[in-house]
Structure 1
Amino acid sequence: MKTQQELMSVGRAAELIEAGKYLSIAGDEAALRQLPQGNWIGGTIPYFMAAAGGTVSREQVFVSEISGFAAPPQLRFYDSGSLPQICRNAPDNGYSILIIPAFSGTHASFAQNAPNFEEMYMKPLIGWIAGVHLDDLGKTSPKVILGSTGEFSESDAVVMDVPLPPEKFAQIDIVNLFRPGSGAGISFQNNGFSAGDCLIGGQVGNLADYLLEKQIDTRLPLVADYSGAMINVSIKSIDHEAKRVEFYAPVFPGLEYRFAAPVTDYVTAFQAALPKSGLDISFSCNCILNFLNSHLEGKRTGEVTGPMTFGEIGYQLLNQTLVYLTVTE
């Protein structure tokens, strides 16, 4: 039986909660506030990839049902101080779904420190960064919800630890269509969500000036090789006066970044990169920037559905990427 992952009415989601199901739920804050307490975690976002295609809805919620576990999943909050324990506390065989509110201290802490968390990469950790409708940016804060208490938080992360029986195995896959382009290599002295002065092609330069001078399409992320995986860092904004560039994920020293080569037809490239038809995906999410830049409203990305988020988590923080989890025997 395939895992239930679908966009549905608040009423239908409430029925599943009241039936005792374990769920991960994404939706606009007003919709999530209508749901009863139960075995669920959630985060705010009104952008989704539904079975019918890309959808923006403040009324519906996207529900991923969690099933096939060996023991009841554990639901809890983590603050930035306790978050480094997330993998150590995770089940020895299973996976964890993590949701973090965008622009929070926990978001910044996770982004910059997750690769060094104890037992990171030993246990599957997947999830996403909660956001808001783009019309509400700066007016309302992204939030996560611990459904077992009904508590909302704009500062803490929420997690569901799912233990699996010994014959089952969880695997995270990442679909990233972006590859480094042919431009200059860029390296940074410090890690962080913004940068100004840096090394460009081995010479001291300023990233904001370089973007302007080369007329770089800022819908393209910076890409670097993180131990064999191509990881994107998306441009959030450029302050030409302050000569600084803000990012949706941190850059790190010791890596060489390049702006990505353009993807001419995102939907076609995506279809080609997606997993084979019929794969039972337990959880997945994609990036709001892919949704916007590739005009995915009304378009489908294969059989993969889920929230369109302010960042994806596949062990560490990702941008402009699709992540999905499968459980196999």
Structure 2
Amino acid sequence: MTVRVEGGLMSVAEAADLIGQGGALTIAGDESLLSQLPRGQWIGGTTPYFMTSEGGQCRRDAVFVQSLDTTDVAVASYDVNTLANVLEDAPENGYSIIILPAASPVLAAYAFHAPDFPDMYIKPIVGWVSGVHLDELGERSAAVLDGHSGALYTDRAVVLHVRLPEGRSAMVHTVNLFEAGFGPELTFNTTSDSQDECFVDGVAGNLAEVIAVHGVGHSLPLVADYCGATVNVSIQSVDESEGTVKLYAPVFEGVRYRFARPAVDYPAQFMAAMPTHPGNLVFGCNCILNYLHSELEGRKTAQLTGPITFGEVAYQLLNQTAVFLTVERDD
């Protein structure tokens, strides 16, 4: 099997040299490193966690670069008022890579409304949610960078719109090792990332109580079938005294959820789930919750490398999922 590998974990100087060569790049790393990089055709987001060819790593002295092997791109940024235009701005034949800062209004807007954006599911879009070192949660803000202008944002999304030549097309892929497993069927009356009341097998109940009764750890997400795709919604925190549950993404009104079956050996299962011939892989990311709960530090996940993220985008916002994009020949 042959997979083109460019970029990877490198120093600021090495990344600056790649930027100077004029190609389009996505770059992940600590804010102090990203802010040293020169302007060019790139976007970036903050995270110190990476899946490298040597396995999962936490590094604050290097950045992770993914080269898109093209110069035919446009760099853009969007706030909550313009975000819905993101795919209308995308080329008819190509793909878009988006980075959104964690715990920001623009991320919330994407999480709740992306399925209804014009051209969604017609034009390919992938991406990730930037974050901070877990020891600094609540102390620092996640950020994204527009490499073209040099601007750093905590309240906007940055996007690379990539145009592909005739005869090539982009394919979005996800690797989700979780499936609906045990416990009652759960439905909700409201679309929200904070829930208390729910219906438990059709009977009114409380989500925090259900989690306590069934002994569900935070490592297991809620899982639902979204029009044929298995989608996770991960548990962020449970306040038993208030009876409330905070989620990393919204659950949607009327959709049926169950708790996931545990992944027994995540790296081994991931290796088995990756396609044998993934094609020309140009972008990839994996979730911080997989990194933590499946103990990926120092362990490899097949050909997929890239940032460890605080949410993933494969059209809509995902949790506890790996995402990658390939560029294929149409013949």
Runs of 4+ that moved beyond 2 A? 277-280
Structure 1: tracts of 5 or more residues without a match:
none
Partner of 1:2: 4
The answer to whether structure 1 residue 218 and structure 2 residue 218 are counterparts is: yes
SS of 2:100's equivalent in the other structure is strand
CA distance in 1, matches of 2:12, 2:218: 36
Matches within 5 A, 1:18-167: 18-68=20-70, 72-167=72-167
CA distance in 2, matches of 1:324, 1:139: 31
Per-residue deviation, 1:164: 0.4
Per-residue deviation, 1:302: 0.5
The answer to whether structure 1 residue 299 and structure 2 residue 313 are counterparts is: no
CA distance in 2, matches of 1:278, 1:269: 16
Partner of 2:229: 229
CA distance in 1, matches of 2:277, 2:54: 16
Q: After the TM superposition, which of the residue ranges 15-24 and 142-151 deviates more from structure 2? A: 15-24
Let me know the Cα RMSD of the aligned residues.
Answer: 1.1
Partner of 1:186: 186
Q: Which amino acid aligns with 2:44?
A: G
CA distance in 2, matches of 1:42, 1:225: 32
SS of 1:184's equivalent in the other structure is strand
Per-residue deviation, 1:262: 1.1
Identity of aligned residues (%): 48
Q: After the TM superposition, which of the residue ranges 60-69 and 128-137 deviates more from structure 2? A: 60-69
| Maintained 8 Å contact 1:5/1:305 | no
| Maintained 8 Å contact 1:5/1:306 | no
Partner of 1:208: 208
CA distance in 1, matches of 2:145, 2:275: 30
The TM-score normalised by the length of structure 1 is 0.97
SS of 1:181's equivalent in the other structure is strand
| Maintained 8 Å contact 1:131/1:141 | yes
Per-residue deviation, 1:113: 0.4
SS of 2:216's equivalent in the other structure is coil
CA distance in 1, matches of 2:281, 2:153: 28
Per-residue deviation, 1:315: 0.2
Per-residue deviation, 1:278: 6.3
CA distance in 2, matches of 1:116, 1:153: 25
| Maintained 8 Å contact 2:278/2:326 | no
Per-residue deviation, 1:265: 0.8
SS of 2:138's equivalent in the other structure is coil
CA distance in 1, matches of 2:117, 2:7: 30
Q: After the TM superposition, which of the residue ranges 12-21 and 230-239 deviates more from structure 2? A: 12-21
Q: Give the number of aligned pairs.
A: 327
Per-residue deviation, 1:173: 0.7
Q: Which amino acid aligns with 1:135?
A: D
| Maintained 8 Å contact 1:76/1:146 | yes
Q: Which amino acid aligns with 1:10?
A: V
| Maintained 8 Å contact 2:271/2:302 | yes
CA deviations over 1:127-171 (Å, ceiling 9, x no partner): 000111001100000000001111100000000000001111100
CA deviations over 1:94-133 (Å, ceiling 9, x no partner): 0000000011000000000000001100000000001110
